[in-house]
Amino acid sequence: MTAAHNNKPSLIELSVFMKLAYEIIIVSLIFFLICLLYKNQQRISHNNGKGWDGVSYYKMAEQYRDGATTVTADMPFVKRIGTPFLIGNYSRITGTSLLESALIVNLAGVFVLVILLVFWLRRFINVFWIRLLLCLLFLIAWHAPLRYSFLIPLTTDAWAAVWLVTGLLLLNRLHKYQSENNKVLLPGIIALSIVTSIGILFRESNIALALAAPFILNPLKNWDFNQNIFKVSGWLNFIKKTVLMYWKRNSLLLFLPLLFAFLITIGINKLVVPASGWSVLKTTIDWFYEKSLPQFLLGIFIAYGPVLVLVPYYFKSYKTIFFDRQDLSVLFLIFLLFGLIGGTDTERILYMSSFPIIFIMIGISIKQLYASPQRLWLVVLLILQTLAYRFYWLTPDYLTERKGIPIPFFTLLGNKFEYLYLFSEFGHHILNTLLLIEYIVLFIMTGFIVNNTWSDFKKLLRNPK
């Protein structure tokens, strides 16, 4: 009995490992299947396959391929040296062209990313098929790294997100250790500092990990939400408690990632020579005032598709996660801000920073809907999701002359139209308005359906009174 009892934990651990391995194998197969499905995607013709930002990334990769240690390109792209460094060195070692090297490097990044996504989702979603579904949706989205890399290989999205999700996994570990032991795990915070620093080499937005680290202590619990927010005494009490919370040697370790981020930023400045001027503050302010609320809202819907409409209705099912994990709440707000002020491609910028967190909300919402009598509505939403993510069509090419007005139905159907029409920033105003109306109508319909059973609708039809 004793031997069996001693073997029991190891058998449980083996079972968990086998389930994890099984899940990773399935996700890997899905990844390669989607690659085969979209490998015939025509590369964008604009700038000979480089796209827009890719012109700068190509120039950097070319310099790294030729052995340069300091590179020159336009701002802000020149500071994202990570992926161009990988592309340039892969091209130099293998003799492959820079564009082909970019495709291979980024597809490798997507593969690593989707495996990390499995580990991340397992922390919050305990239903196997929902995790697989979310991974599948990530891989088929037309604006996500897998399909986008076939269209425009010169991008930094995939590897930047690899370090983001790695950092999130470390944050999760740090939060768990702090909750159980009431102190910061030193090796964990050092690891997070290193991962954040590496992530900044690929995209500066990864500094958000360093900004979120201090919130592992949940400082907002020091605020009394029952008091008047305009009471000075309340603010003074909150500030005092918060300062005392951090004014400890162990707690101060949570600011270590910010120190590393500052140092790596200085290091990057020594390795690059900007070819053009660019102001972070000016660009941020410009986008804050220029990007309209309807445009931003449509960008969010385009990024996440019809399943996003479930999220507000199941807030109670996941709210405790974000109340207990203020680091995730802060990250979510920062990522929304990135989508607003980060540039023209609201969909890509928002999606590639926030998807690990919003997937938690979507996954839990799907679980709740599936367990309800209204589960058939999930089938409807998923069918619409395949349309919105353009599963059935390759991505259209960039055209110098805009020809054809496509039919808007949660996306622009087909691919015989201008590529930029797909984005909320560049799309046709009438088409964008129709798309936004469709999403709003779907949101309202979903509200009625999730709050009423099918039998309620039948009774209403039989007896309208």
Evaluate if residue 95 carries a pLDDT over 70. yes
At 118, list the tokens. 């499995």
**What pLDDT does 262 receive?**
96
Token code pair at residue 192: 């997070």
Radius of gyration of the chain (CA): 24
Q: Residue 1's pLDDT band (boundaries 50, 70, 90)?
A: very low
Which residue has tokens 């604009």?
46
> Does 379 score more than 60 pLDDT?
yes
Write the pLDDT tens digit of every residue in 5-18.
555 567 777 778 88
Residue type, 362: I
Containing H/E element for 139?
helix 128-140
DSSP state of 66: T
Token look-up 């949940």 returns 218
Axis-axis angle for helices 157-181, 346-370 (nearest 10)? 50
What is the pLDDT confidence band of residue 353, given thresholds at 50, 70 and 90? very high
% of the chain residues with pLDDT over 90: 77
Q: What share of the chain is helix, strand, coil (3-state, %, to 5)?
A: 75, 0, 25
Per-residue model confidence as pLDDT tens digits over 101-160:
999 999 999 999 999 999 999 999 999 999 999 999 999 999 999 999 999 999 999 999
Domain extents for the chain?
1-155, 158-275, 279-465
**Tokens 């490798």, residue?**
108
State the pLDDT at residue 189.
96
Give the per-residue pLDDT at 5.
53
User: Around Cβ 126, how many Cβ atoms within 10 Å?
Assistant: 12
Helices (H) and strands (E) in the chain, counts: 20, 2
Closest CA to 374 of 318, 445, 306: 445
Tokens 């990057």 -> residue:
268
Residue 222 DSSP code: G
- What percentage of the chain reaches a pLDDT higher than 70? 94
- pLDDT, residue 286, reads 83
Give residue 152's pLDDT. 96
Could you report the per-residue pLDDT of 191-234, keeping only the tens digit for each?
A: 999 999 999 999 999 999 999 999 999 998 888 877 888 888 88
| Contact of 356 with 328, CB cutoff 8 Å | no
Any residues with CB less than 8 A from the CB of 441 and at least 6 apart, and which?
none
Which residues partner with 273 through β-bridges? Answer: 72
DSSP 257-282: HHHHHHHHHHHHHHHEEESS---HHH
Q: Among 144-153, 181-190, 240-249, 350-359, which is the least confidently predicted range? A: 240-249
Q: What is the pLDDT of residue 17?
A: 83
pLDDT for position 372: 93
Provide the CA 307 distance to its chain's centre, in angstroms.
15
The confidence score (pLDDT) of residue 222 equals: 86
pLDDT at 154: 95
Mean residue pLDDT of the chain comes to 92
Judge whether 174 and 213 are in contact, CB under 8 Å: yes
Tokens of 132: 């697989």
Count the neighbouring beta carbons within 10 Å of the beta carbon of residue 348: 23
The answer to whether residue 454 scores a pLDDT higher than 90 is no
How many CA atoms, within 13 angstroms, populate the side-chain half-sphere of residue 454? 6
113: left (phi over 0), alpha (psi -120 to 50) or beta: alpha
